[in-house]
Amino acid sequence: PEDIGQSPMASMPDGDKVDLEAFSEFTKIITPAITRVVDFAKKLPMFSELPCEDQIILLKGCCMEIMSLRAAVRYDPESETLTLSGEMAVKREQLKNGGLGVVSDAIFDLGKSLSAFNLDDTEVALLQAVLLMSS
- Whether the CB-CB separation of 40 and 125 falls below 8 Å is answered with yes
- Residues 54, 87: Cα–Cα separation, whole Å: 33
The model's pTM is 0.82
47: pLDDT strictly greater than 60: yes
- Residues 21, 100: Cα–Cα separation, whole Å: 13
**Does residue 60 sit within a domain?**
yes
pLDDT per residue as tens digits for the range 96-112: 888 888 899 999 999 99
Torsion, CA 15, CA 18, CA 20, CA 24, rounded to 10: -120
- Residues 84, 92: Cα–Cα separation, whole Å: 12
Better pLDDT: 17 or 5: 17
**Does residue 124 sit within a domain?**
yes
SS3 for 84?
strand
* Across 20-48, average pLDDT: 90
- Whether the CB-CB separation of 5 and 88 falls below 8 Å is answered with no
**Does residue 19 sit within a domain?**
yes
**Does residue 89 sit within a domain?**
yes
- Residues 22, 32: Cα–Cα separation, whole Å: 17
The CATH number of residue 99's host domain is 1.10.565.10
127: pLDDT strictly greater than 80: yes
- Domain range enclosing 52: 9-133
**Does residue 105 sit within a domain?**
yes
* Across 111-134, average pLDDT: 97
Structural domain count, the chain: 1
